[in-house]
Amino acid sequence: MNVSVALPDSTLAARATRVASIAAQHADDVDAAARFPKEAVDALRAERLLGIQIPVHLGGESADLRQIADICCILGQSCSATAMIFAMHQIKASSLVEHGEESAWHTSFMRRLAAEQLLIGSATTEGGIGGNLRNSICAIHVDGDICTLEKDATVISYGSEADAILITSRAHADAAPADQVMTVFLKDQYSLEKTHVWNTLGMRGTCSDGFLFKGKAPSEQIFPKPFAEIAAQSMLATSHLLWSGVWYGIAADAVLRAQAFVRAAARKSPGVAPPGAIRLAEVSNKLQIVKSNVIAGLKAYEDTKSDPDRLMSMGFAIAMNNVKICSSETILEIINHAMLICGIMGYKNGTPYSLGRHLRDAHSAQLMISNDRILSNSANLLLVQKQDTSLSI
């Protein structure tokens, strides 16, 4: 007799959905305790989702940014912290994928990342510099084959949990603030002395504590490309797009809760439109605006990706900045609208319609590289760059 055993669905979306259901079970506790979402990150590893962006020939799955953004969105609907940790890890992986293959060390590190499902953290923010990631105060010191770095890294998400950290600094002691490099340090090559505790309004499970970072490693772990090129050619776009994927997911779940509230009211009074029905239509419209914005941004990135000159262009930078500004501002309107629909049941914690966590998490979006900083950057570019008025994507 033939006994066929059904294998689990191995598509990226199905694997992400399984992780999301685990993340959802722990999301409230992760938020309340401001703790690392260990169960969900273990599940990401078990589903082998941490290495999907690494090229197939290095042991990954060559997943593209659209697929990764979709996973961010799926996770964002369950647990914002898990989704943001996944997004930040993939942003770091994109630096390796786009700029690492010209170096033997970074190529072999990508193999390890995929094989061992390593979790990668990021340290760009620095005391005295804030979110101005294209400037550093600290400088890496290269002595023969060895490099050392000390950085007052005021925000490193899941710093204590990461297997490696990609960290920016000036290229050498005499370098200008914008003459930067990025270096990979493995967990056993650095120490972290906690300087700030991440006790925040939202995104509490990202555990983005501040640390004094001290690292020592072979100097071949410094990316051969200047950080200016890495930032402009991949990090700017992948950050704004994957963060937006997470934020869209948070807002989408808020709308689902508002819709469930309106439907429950409709069932109680058949034939009468519930009071929140019109607001639900409005909020569905706003959600579609964010979705269209993110999808258009992802398409622009895919179309531009193979052309480094266009990636470095002012028009592309403005377009990516606009994706971030739109999604980070509009999700607050959306969740607020959902709260008006659900009323006290949305305001209270512990109901099927609770939206407090969504709203608190969403407030981080405007600060994650301050929108004011991004707008002033776009404003400078728009002094010379002609506004794109076409409808072509």
Ligand X SMILES: Cc1cc2nc3c(=O)[nH]c(=O)nc-3n(C[C@H](O)[C@H](O)[C@H](O)COP(=O)(O)OP(=O)(O)OC[C@H]3O[C@@H](n4cnc5c(N)ncnc54)[C@H](O)[C@@H]3O)c2cc1C
Residues that bind ligand X (CB under 6 A): 84, 88, 121-125, 130-132, 155-157, 203, 206, 208, 364, 367-370, 372-373, 376
Q: From CA 371, how far away is CA 354, in angstroms rounded? A: 27
Q: Of 242, 254, 240, whose CA–CA distance to 362 is shortest?
A: 254
Amino acid at site 391: L
CB of 231 to ligand X, least distance (A): 12
Q: Which is nearer to ligand X, 162 or 280 (CB)?
A: 162
Q: What is the CA radius of gyration of the chain?
A: 22
CB of 181 to ligand X, least distance (A): 15
Residue whose C-beta lies closest to ligand X? 130
Q: Kindly report the number of other CB atoms within 10 A of residue 182's CB atom.
A: 25
User: CA 184 → CA 48, 58, 77, 167, distances in Å?
Assistant: 22, 18, 31, 7
Q: Going by DSSP bridges, is the β-strand pair 210-218/180-186 parallel, antiparallel, or unpaired?
A: unpaired
Q: Which is nearer to ligand X, 26 or 324 (CB)?
A: 324
β partners of residue 185 = 165
Q: In this structure, what token pair is assigned to residue 349?
A: 């914690």
Q: From CA 385, how far away is CA 149, in angstroms rounded? A: 38
Instruction: With residue 293 as reference, give the H or E element that holds it.
Output: helix 277-304
CB of 292 to ligand X, least distance (A): 25
Question: Reduced to 3 states, what is the DSSP secondary structure of residue 47?
Answer: coil
Q: Which is nearer to ligand X, 207 or 252 (CB)?
A: 207
- Tell me the backbone φ, ψ of residue 176, rounded to 5 degrees: -65, 160
In a 10 Å sphere around its CB, with 0-12 CB exposed, 13-18 middle and 19+ buried, how is residue 197 labelled? exposed
Start-to-end C-alpha separation, the chain:
56
CB of 329 to ligand X, least distance (A): 14
Q: Which is nearer to ligand X, 136 or 189 (CB)?
A: 136
Q: Going by DSSP bridges, is the β-strand pair 190-196/146-153 parallel, antiparallel, or unpaired?
A: unpaired
Q: Which is nearer to ligand X, 63 or 84 (CB)?
A: 84
CB of 363 to ligand X, least distance (A): 9
CB of 361 to ligand X, least distance (A): 8
CB of 50 to ligand X, least distance (A): 16
Q: Which residue has the tokens 């082998």?
A: 48
Q: Which is nearer to ligand X, 58 or 129 (CB)?
A: 129
Q: Is the CB of residue 258 less than 8 Å from the CB of residue 337?
A: yes
Q: Which is nearer to ligand X, 88 or 294 (CB)?
A: 88
Q: Which is nearer to ligand X, 72 or 283 (CB)?
A: 72
Q: Which is nearer to ligand X, 121 or 276 (CB)?
A: 121
User: CA 121 → CA 17, 200, 247, distances in Å?
Assistant: 23, 19, 20
Q: Which is nearer to ligand X, 251 or 369 (CB)?
A: 369
CB of 57 to ligand X, least distance (A): 29
Q: In this structure, what token pair is assigned to residue 290?
A: 């964010």
Q: Is the CB of residue 365 less than 8 Å from the CB of residue 247?
A: yes
CB of 2 to ligand X, least distance (A): 51
CB of 187 to ligand X, least distance (A): 15
